[in-house]
Amino acid sequence: MAEPLLEVKNLTVHFPTDDGLVKAVDGVSFSLLPGETLGVVGESGSGKSVSFLTVMGLINAKQAVIEGQIIFQGQDLLTLPVDEMRNVRGEKISMIFQDPMTSLHPYYKTGDQIAEAIRVHQRVSKQEAHEQAVEMLRRVGIPRPDERADQYPHEFSGGMRQRAMIAMALSLNPDLLIADEPTTALDVTVQAQILDLLDRLKQEFNAAIVIVTHDLGVVAEHCDHIQVMYAGKIVEAGDRRDIYYGAHHPYTWGLLASIPRLDESDTKERLQPIRGLPPSLIFVPPGCAFHPRCPHVFDRCRTDVPELLPADGHHASRCHLSLSDKERIFQEEVMARS
Amino acid sequence: MGRYLIRRTLFMILVLFIVSLITFIIFVKLPASDPARRAVGKSTSPENVEAARHAFGLDKPLYVQYSRFAKGLIPWPGLFLNEDVYYSYANFVPVKEEIFSRLPVTIALAVGAAVLWTLVGIPIGIISAVRKGSVWDRSAMVFALIGVSAPVFWLAYLFLYIFWFKLGWAPPSGIPIGESVTQAVLSGRFILPWIVLSMTFAAFYARMVRGNLIETMSEDYIRTARAKGLSEKRVIYKHGLRAALTPVVTMFGLDLAVLLGGAFITETVFGLPGVGQYAVRSIFLNDFPAVMGVTLFAAFFIAVANLCVDVAYAFLDPRVRYT
């Protein structure tokens, strides 16, 4: 097997606040191969964004207590000096964010903002950087890129801005692109365009991609692997097929049941929400953090924290139910309904 | 842009019209006593009062009275603060002459103080924001609180007492007769007034810059700048300050314009013969042509500055469009 591009080992990110310690990420481990696409799914406050902001070094030891290892191309990013981490950021790992409306600087021309990213990492003239920026805008499918480069972000539509963000993120040909809710703020038709664009660019640039989202439906077609996060922990991880055709965790079942489907003829049943609210990350429920909302809860769930156990090599889940129960409930309750 | 300017100018004229009307009512019509009698003094003949009434046009209908004053608002050589109305009866000098002879003092005071408060207030605000919660930040904010709360007249006397009377470091208040504004500036007569006048503004600007910058630094586009791998310095000084200082520029233009209309308290306490001092003196002497002249002059300044600031904003913030 190839050397992993990114290996996160037992990462914890805790924020000290006046109300107590917020355990945003609590012991997360995973690895990512070069060129692979990973989908990270969870509700708001599940720790998915925080995990990857920490990988980027955008959350650092000044703001939070960080433990564990983030090994990227053989280097532990958490022990890297600030200056070297800055070289990794933007050049080797880049990131696009949820809201393209606010993620570009309103006072600078779009092309200049992309050129700036290039010039931080490469010794090129302003002119060359500008030409590269225009070329990147063209590659992400922005029409008349040379004119667009001289426009300000407010002259772009939401989808175009997200394309510009992607152009900026890919301008240095990074090995890893982290897309944090890249489509959440966009119209549904534009969402699909952006995801298709990411797919295409992944081939062209040969980069690994992480798509962080709260919507399992979004990552369905675009990810090789999926991991589901809840209350700062990974509760289920596996191949795309494992998750969609044989999910093992009640939380994942809840997410699957809450995807609206238009292809069904009998839409008698209402959309199934997951009852309850995500837990406080200061007072995480004892035992399995999901037990107060879980329809299959039993005594052990309230006291013992379940381990993330692999069922068959690659597919792992963090649940006390027996494998046969998981498979039975999935078939009876989730598949039957969807 | 052209249409915008025309609209704004028309609006400015409306504002000045309202200001002049209110000033006219307050200083000429509201006082219980007869303005003509105020002008000529207590012990005089009825003929003199009548002559004054006629000279001020107070024997004419109300709209004629007002329009005589209002004419002085039109920025045209023969009309602006025209001498047949804007003529001080306290010292028998045309108001225009008095204002223009005093303007250099006010300009020296206002511009010097503006430079000082910009050089002090903005860096303090930046340091406080960048090192939020540090000893630097806390002491700067204590300074800002004192600066904002301390009354100017109190500060002025305190500084005069310490730096002139006790230590002898600074010259006393006032400008000797015959000394030009340039000489006064060079001999340090403006140092204490500058410091005192800029104190409140510096404190206010420090707080404003700090607040703006802290807010800006939590914006998404700052996170994007960091994600690009920019150095923290560049993130703060290129991306952060660019957005945080834009509203400060607006503020600065207006504050400076207000001071150019006269820094009343500072000029009075330090005995500086500026426009503000003239205004205060004229109010005490009930010299209504002078009061109206100064008020309209200041209002004109502020209105023009307002327009300039709004136009400048388009160059600072590309999202602003004039339609």
As for how many domains chain A has, the answer is 2
Looking at the predicted structure, is the pLDDT value of residue A66 above 90?
Answer: yes
Q: pLDDT value at position A226?
A: 93
Count of beta carbons in the 10 Å neighbourhood of residue B322: 14
The Cα–Cα gap between B117 and A273 comes to 58
Q: Please report the DSSP string for B249-307 in residue order.
A: HHHHHHHHHHHHT--HHHHHHTT--SHHHHHHHHHHTT-HHHHHHHHHHHHHHHHHHHH
A236/A152 same-domain check: no
Check residue B46 and give its pLDDT. Answer: 81
Q: How far is A130 from chain B (nearest CA, A)?
A: 16
CB contact under 8 A, A90 and B220: no
The residue among A136 and B70 whose pLDDT is bigger is A136
Q: Identify the closest residue of chain A to B318 by CA–CA distance.
A: A107
Q: Which domain holds residue B19?
A: 2-71
CATH code of residue A136: 3.40.50.300
Bridging pattern class, strands A93-96 and A316-317: unpaired
Question: What is the Cα–Cα distance from A64 to B38, expressed in whole angstroms?
Answer: 73
Q: What average pLDDT does range A113-139 have in this prediction? A: 93
Helix and strand totals (H; E) in chain A = 12, 12
Contact A89 B243 (CB under 8 A): no
Residues B150 and B108 in one domain: yes
Does any domain span residue B298? no
- With respect to residue A277, please indicate whether it lies within any of the assigned structural domains: yes
Residue A62 forms part of a structural domain = yes
A53 shares a domain with A74: yes
Q: How far is CA B207 from CA A108, A286, B7, B248, in A?
A: 26, 45, 34, 11
> In this complex, is the C-beta atom of B2 within 8 Å of any C-beta atom belonging to chain A?
no
- Among A281, A286, A313, smallest CA distance to A49 is for A281
Nearest CA in chain B to A55: B227
Q: Number of folded domains in chain B?
A: 2
Looking at the DSSP bridge assignments, the partners of residue A67 are A12
Q: Are residues B133 and B222 in the same domain?
A: yes
Summarize the confidence of residues A302-310 as an average pLDDT. 88
B229: nearest CB among A89, A97, A105: A89
Q: Does residue B168 fall inside a structural domain?
A: yes
In a domain, residue B189? The reply is: yes
* Chain B residue numbers touching A104 (CB-CB < 8 A): 221, 224
Q: Which of B28, B55, B71 is the last residue of a domain?
A: B71
Q: Where are the alpha helices (DSSP H) in chain B?
A: 2-24, 35-40, 46-55, 62-71, 95-130, 135-149, 152-159, 181-186, 191-217, 220-227, 232-234, 241-260, 264-269, 275-284, 288-316
Do A79 and A151 belong together in one domain?
A: yes
pLDDT band at residue B312 under the 50/70/90 scheme: confident
**In sequence order, what are the residues at sequence separation of 6 or more whose Cβ sits closer than 8 angstroms to the Cβ of residue B276?**
B106, B261, B262, B263, B264, B265, B266, B267, B268
C-alpha A180/C-alpha A182 separation (Å) is: 5
* Contact list, B321 vs chain A (CB under 8 Å): none
CB-closest option in A87, A94, A107 to B227: A94
Residue B129 lies inside a defined structural domain of this protein: yes
For residues B168 and B32, state if they share a domain.
no
Average pLDDT over residues B216-226: 93
d(Cα A317, Cα B138) in Å, to the nearest integer?
49
B56 and B99 together in one domain: no
Please say which residue of A184, A200, A223 terminates a domain: A223
Clarify whether residues A174 and A308 are in a common domain. no
Of B221, B242, B243, the CB nearest to A104: B221
Q: Residue written as tokens 């959309």?
A: A271
Q: Are residues B184 and B104 in the same domain?
A: yes
Closest Cα to residue B221, out of B122, B123, B319, B320?
B319
CB contact under 8 A, A104 and B318: no
Asked which of A253-262, B217-226, B283-292 is least confident by mean pLDDT, the reply is A253-262
- pLDDT tens-digit readout, B123-132: 999 999 999 8
Q: Are B264 and B201 members of one domain? A: yes
Regarding whether B236 and B145 lie in a shared domain, the answer is yes
Q: Check whether residue B145 and residue B252 sit in a common domain.
A: yes
How does DSSP assign B32-47, residue by residue? SS-HHHHHH-SS--HH
Q: Using CA atoms, how far apart are residues B222 and B217, in angstroms rounded to an integer?
A: 6
* Same domain for A192 and A151: yes
Nearest CA in chain A to B217: A105
Residues B102 and B67 in one domain: no
Q: Which tens digit of pLDDT belongs to each residue from A202-221?
A: 888 888 999 999 888 877 78
| Residue A268: pLDDT over 60 | no
Ramachandran category for residue A47: left, alpha or beta (phi over 0 → left; psi -120 to 50 → alpha): left
* Residues B170 and B26 placed together within one structural domain of the fold: no
Q: Which residues pair with A227 in a beta bridge?
A: A40, A237
Q: B44 pLDDT band (50/70/90 cuts)?
A: confident
- B319 shares contact with chain A (CB less than 8 Å): yes
Regarding whether A73 and A216 lie in a shared domain, the answer is: yes
pLDDT category of residue B171 using cuts at 50, 70 and 90: confident
Average pLDDT on A53-58 reads 92
* Burial class of residue A64 in the structure, from the number of CB atoms within 10 Å of its CB (0-12 exposed, 13-18 middle, 19+ buried): buried
Nearest to B70 by CA among B55, B86, B58, B59: B86
Alpha carbons A140 and A166: distance in angstroms, whole number = 7
Q: Say whether residue B239 is in contact with chain A using an 8 A CB cutoff.
A: yes
Amino acid at A228: V
Positive/negative CA dihedral, B12, B14, B20, B23: negative
Domain end marker among A154, A188, A223 = A223
Residue A1 lies in a domain: no
Q: Is residue B264 part of a domain?
A: yes
Instruction: Mark whether A303 and A214 lie in a shared domain.
Output: no
Reported as a single tens digit per residue, the pLDDT across B104-144 is 999 999 999 999 999 999 999 999 999 988 999 999 999 99
- Per 3-state DSSP, chain A is made up of helix, strand and coil in percentages (nearest 5) of 35, 20, 40
Quote ipTM for the complex.
Answer: 0.87
Identity (one letter) of the amino acid at B76? Answer: W
Q: Which of A184, A208, A223 is the last residue of a domain?
A: A223
Q: Which range marks the domain in which residue A216 is found?
A: 6-223
Contacts of B242 in chain A (CB under 8 A): 105, 107-108
Residue B244: its pLDDT value, please? 92
Per DSSP bridges, beta strands A225-230 and A233-239 are antiparallel
Do residues B220 and B273 share a domain?
yes
Q: Quote the strand ranges of chain A, DSSP E.
A: 6-17, 20-32, 37-41, 65-72, 75-76, 93-96, 176-180, 208-213, 225-230, 233-239, 309-310, 316-317
Mutate to test the interface with A, among B223, B228, B249, B320 (most CBs of A within 10 A): B228
Which CATH number covers residue B209?
1.10.3720.10
A197 and A243 share one domain:
no
Who's near A320: CB < 8 A, 6+ residues apart? A288, A298, A300, A301, A304, A306
- Domain membership of residue A57 (yes or no) is yes
